[in-house]
Structure 1
Amino acid sequence: MNALNRFADPFYCIMRFIVGLMFTCHGLDKIFGTFAGKTEALPPLMMLGGWIEIICGFLVAFGLLTRIAAFVASGEMAAAFFMMHAPKGLIPYVNKGELAVVYCFIFFYIFLRGSGSWSIDALIGRSRTATATTS
């Protein structure tokens, strides 16, 4: 099992990147109709959700302000589930809220774990540490 530990951080980075980009794509499609080609007037709360998806997804993907962005994204997905899906029933498979639940828990895990060593947060932290030790 220890032989697999060397892959944990690179895999976490890849997972964080893919989840962040997928979340960004959801936001881009919601706001601009980028992928589905449909643009319709959105209620203000959905518009806010779309921008949260774009911004937080991008930040999580590249590991910048990761914990804050992941916490906000997790909260948005929890709110989306309880506001949009739960009124149709509490079972995610029945109310079509599986993706909201999965995103909620993945982003909460990212919030708890942090950005990892392959991230902009880590690069900034390293440069601060290097500056502090050389002065």
Structure 2
Amino acid sequence: MNGRLDKAQPYAVGLFRIVVGLLFACHGAASLFGVLGGAAGTGGTLAAGTWPGWYAAVIQLVGGTFVLLGLGTRVAALITSGSMAYAYFDVHQQAALWPIQNGGEASAMFCWAFLLLVFTGSGALGVDRLFAKRSATATGERTSADQTPVAA
């Protein structure tokens, strides 16, 4: 059973990355373009260049899209994780200590989800993986995806 789960792990990480990236990009699109409910649920958009909201929305849209595609996943996840840590500690924690009290649950969850992706990478189904396979093929190396585990 454990072997089957190990084989599915890259796909589970890939699906996790896709969902988290999509949800995060939707936040950015809502804030920047007023779609999907708009900025803060008002249907409006943020004024360009306003600190920190507009910059956070750009990070959400661009970073979320990169994570969704699995393109530069580790770097994009590091930047997005940092932006959510900033949002939590600078915006939410001023109201109360715990996320449930200060409305910072989404910021905290996104922060930790992206931090996990920094360490796991894109998993399966990502553009990063395609580049790794092409690079390995060009140099004649075998990628970890090409290698089959040896039974113990």
TM band (smaller chain): over 0.9
What's 1:130 paired with?
137
What's 1:39 paired with?
44
Q: CA deviation at 1:40?
A: 4.3
Structure 1 unmatched ranges of 5 or more? none
Aligned length: 134
Q: What is the SS of the residue equivalent to 1:44?
A: coil
Report the TM-score, using the length of structure 1 for normalisation: 0.92
Which of the pair has more CA radius of gyration?
A: 2
Moved more, 32-41 or 19-28: 32-41
Moved more, 118-127 or 37-46: 37-46
Q: CA deviation at 1:129?
A: 1.2
What's 1:62 paired with?
69
Distance in structure 1 (CA, Å) of the matches to 2:101 and 2:111: 18
RMSD of aligned alpha carbons: 1.5
Distance in structure 1 (CA, Å) of the matches to 2:37 and 2:127: 31
Distance in structure 2 (CA, Å) of the matches to 1:59 and 1:40: 22
Deviations 1:10-44 (A, max 9, x none): 11111100100000000000111111141144433
Q: Which has the higher helix share?
A: 1
Question: Percent of counterpart pairs with the same letter?
Answer: 31
Report the TM-score, using the length of structure 2 for normalisation: 0.83
What's 1:84 paired with?
91
Distance in structure 2 (CA, Å) of the matches to 1:56 and 1:100: 14
Structure 2 unmatched ranges of 5 or more? 142-152
Kindly indicate whether the alpha-carbon contact (under 8 Å) linking 2:31 and 2:46 is maintained by their aligned counterparts in 1: no
Deviations 1:56-101 (A, max 9, x none): 1011111100000000000000000011100001110000101100
Deviations 1:96-133 (A, max 9, x none): 10110010000000001111243111111111111122
Kindly indicate whether the alpha-carbon contact (under 8 Å) linking 2:30 and 2:45 is maintained by their aligned counterparts in 1: no
Moved more, 55-64 or 32-41: 32-41
